[in-house]
Amino acid sequence: MTGEPYAPGVGGPRGRSITLKRIPRSTFISYGIPEKGDANWLDQQGSYMATVAAQPAYRLFGAPTLGVSEDYHTEKMPAVNTGLLDGVLVWRQHDGGHASGPNLPHFVEWAKKRFSTTESDAQPK
């Protein structure tokens, strides 16, 4: 026993340390619009609110986020085709249907900025 506190579900002190080194995960949230075929059951507004609400957890670890306030009740969803792509946690809604293709070029550019091909830089920047 090392005397370190245990975090349930994380695998003890060593597991917790490994987990903490791996977060926050780089996350690209992508949606289309229902008018062009994105599923009507999807909740783009609710997902944007959840993304805004997740920012404090990312910022706790020093990760850049959406660049908007943390108030998910009042923060307005950006216009379609306007990406918030400068952080580790990002958002973009395209003007297509239920497909990832329209956001793929934006994802690739974002991923190039986030990840390096050298092992020493393998962690998100």
Report, as an integer, the average pLDDT of 2-20: 44
- Provide the pLDDT for residue 103: 95
* Higher local confidence (pLDDT), 86 or 20: 86
User: How many residues in the chain?
Assistant: 125
Question: Count of CB atoms within 10 A of residue 84's CB?
Answer: 20
Domain that holds residue 98: 24-121
- pLDDT tens per residue, range 23-82: 688 999 999 999 999 988 899 999 999 999 999 999 998 999 999 999 999 999 999 999
Asked whether residue 7 is assigned to any structural domain, the reply reads: no
The amino acid occupying position 13 is: P
Contact status, residue 123 vs residue 108, Cβ threshold 8 Å: no
pTM, full prediction: 0.74
Structural domains in the chain (count):
1
Asked whether residue 5 is assigned to any structural domain, the reply reads: no
Asked whether residue 1 is assigned to any structural domain, the reply reads: no
Question: Using DSSP, how many helices (H) and how many strands (E) does the chain show?
Answer: 3, 2
Asked whether residue 18 is assigned to any structural domain, the reply reads: no
- pLDDT tens per residue, range 82-93: 999 999 999 999
- pLDDT tens per residue, range 98-118: 998 999 999 999 999 888 655
Rounded to an integer, what distance in angstroms lies between the CA atom of residue 113 and that of residue 125? 8
